[in-house]
Copies of this chain bind each other. A is one copy, B any other.
Amino acid sequence: MDRFIDKNNPNPLYSQISDWIREKVYSGEWQTNQQLPAEEELAQTLNVSRGTLKKAISFLVKEGLLIQIHGKGTFVGEPKVSQPFGQELISFAESMVRKGLSFDTKVIEQGLEHPKKSVQEKLGIAAEEQILFLKRVRNIDDEPVIFMENYINAAICKGIQDADFTKTTLFSEMERRSQKKIDYGVRTFEARAIEEDQAKWLSLPEGYPVLYLDQLVYLEGNIPIETSKVWLRSDKYVITSLLNR
């Protein structure tokens, strides 16, 4: 039971150890504020060097799951309340699930198109190529909260135009069809007055202030795959970031 740490597993040891500790915490075996065994001891238990263990721990400290105090020890941190949306590249769908909220998605428009100039530039493709254009609204408790327009490089995600986005998430679909993992993204946040076209989908009067996000997502290998525009009712859904110094 001690050792789910497998030196033959292609996953790096530190990553396996991180997961192992996460599991201990999530399962409640290690409770909030509980002190972990000393690094030296834990390293011996896991049969790894202290350096490897430290690397595993450092990830969890950065996440806030663990807290280390020089001279005292390593402790399980307070459970997170915040929304990792402003910090970590996760989709809206994923963030809702983590928050334990239920939502539903309505697909307004879905189909292949040729990219506009701005999309061509962002995705680095020519006007002749095809993109999947997706227009969706998401409701929480039957109230519209998010309106999104996505532009996906269809050449990389073959057949994605046929996916049923009321049942699957865009991120998982992109990873599956491109056979690559999503690597990182860049988001900008602005406040904007909502325009007529978006306003009607969010049941808001024209000119109402909304959070506007512009997003560009990259696959491994620095391949831009998706760009999107997102309008968010921030009276309903606030973005929170935990920022470390």
Contact = CB atoms under 8 A, between A and B. Distances in A.
Interface of A: 51, 82, 86-90, 181-193, 207-212, 232, 234-235, 238-245
A interface: dominant SS: strand
Q: Which of A188, A191, A207, A240 has its CB near the most chain B CB atoms (within 10 A)?
A: A191
Nearest to A183: B245
Nearest to A185: B243
A159 B90 CA distance: 43
A5 to B, nearest CB: 22
A87 B242 CA distance: 8
Contacts of A238: 188-190
Contacts of A192: 191, 209, 234
Nearest to A192: B209
Contacts of A209: 191-193, 209-210
Nearest to A218: B245
Contacts of A232: 191
Given A191-B191, A191-B234, A192-B209, A87 B186 contact: no
Nearest to A238: B188
B89 A244 contact: yes
Contacts of A239: 188-190
A189 B242 CA distance: 12
Nearest to A211: B191
A245 to B, nearest CB: 4
B182 A245 contact: yes
Nearest to A233: B191
Contacts of A208: 193
A188 B235 CA distance: 12
A182 to B, nearest CB: 5
Given A211-B191, A212-B191, A185 B87 contact: no
B212 A244 contact: no
A245 B185 contact: yes
Contact of A86 (B181, B187, B210): B187
Q: Which of A182, A185, A235, A241 has its CB near the most chain B CB atoms (within 10 A)?
A: A241
A34 B82 CA distance: 39
A212 to B, nearest CB: 7
Contacts of A185: 242-243, 245
Contact of A234 (B87, B90, B189): B189
